[in-house]
Amino acid sequence: MAQGTGSVSHLDRHHAHHFKSGHEEFEACKQGMWIFLVTEVLFFSGMFVAYAVLRVFYPDMMHDVHHHKLLDWRMGALNTVVLITSSWTMARAVSSSQRGEQKNTVGFLWATLLLAGVFLVVKYFEYSHKIHEHILPGAQYAYEGLTTAKVPIFMSVYFVMTGIHGLHVVIGMGVIYYLIRRAKRNEFGPRYFTPVEMTGLYWHFVDLVWIYLFPLLYLVG
């Protein structure tokens, strides 16, 4: 076995018969994960294009949203920090599992799960404030502080984009919890860490989407 600290020779565990080696199985799995992430980008791209079109055609809509502070940038910034931190803990969970540090793997996975929960709690406060003030999509919009024809359209974009992103966070939490249970049974180590690495890729992607959503929705007016 390789002794180097910076890399691990791995995956000579029992592998499916149609792969030459555990390594090949791992690489195929990872490539499949990247292809899945391509479909995720394309899935979100529909929403990003809709946002771009509305932004170009209704600059006054963006101006109104920004000027009347319909979104609280502090909440968005807080959630950005939370999600970036969770990306870091996830990266540490992956490298811990690769080094066979079971306690750290479980600990960092728990930290990631906890931060994902914090993200959703902040989102809950944002949503409930908007529901209370009737700052809602389309025909549901009835905010007394600002009456315009276009802002309800922005709120549709806001709720769909953050809602779908939030759904990804919830799904990620489920998968991370499943990993914690497996990590506790000591199933991951230098020879096998595929599920942890794949979940890491997914979780970083969820962070990636938020990295763009935060400035687009909360900052630029």
SS3 189: strand
Q: Which of residues 152-211 bind another protein (CB under 8 A)?
A: 200-201, 204-205, 207-208, 211
Q: Are 196 and 189 in contact (CB under 8 A)?
A: no
Q: Which of 19, 29, 73, 137 binds another protein (CB under 8 A)?
A: 73
Q: Which of residues 4-33 bind another protein (CB under 8 A)?
A: 4-10, 12, 21, 23, 26-27, 30-31
From CA 137, how far away is CA 117, in angstroms rounded?
25
SS3 62: helix
Q: Is 45 in the site for another protein (CB under 8 A)?
A: yes
The structure tokens listed for 90 are 């996830």
From CA 196, how far away is CA 178, in angstroms rounded?
10
Q: Are 99 and 8 in contact (CB under 8 A)?
A: yes
Q: Which of 13, 28, 34, 184 binds another protein (CB under 8 A)?
A: 34
* 153 Rama class: left (phi>0) / alpha (psi -120 to 50) / beta: alpha
Closest separation between CB of residue 60 and another protein, Å?
4
Closest separation between CB of residue 146 and another protein, Å?
8
Closest separation between CB of residue 65 and another protein, Å?
11
CA nearest neighbour of 216 among 36, 81, 80: 80
Where does this chain bind another protein (CB under 8 A)? 1-2, 4-10, 12, 21, 23, 26-27, 30-31, 34-35, 37-39, 41-42, 45-46, 48-49, 52-53, 56-57, 59-60, 63-64, 67, 73, 77, 80-81, 84-85, 87-88, 90-92, 94-95, 98-99, 146, 148-150, 200-201, 204-205, 207-208, 211-212, 214-216, 219-221
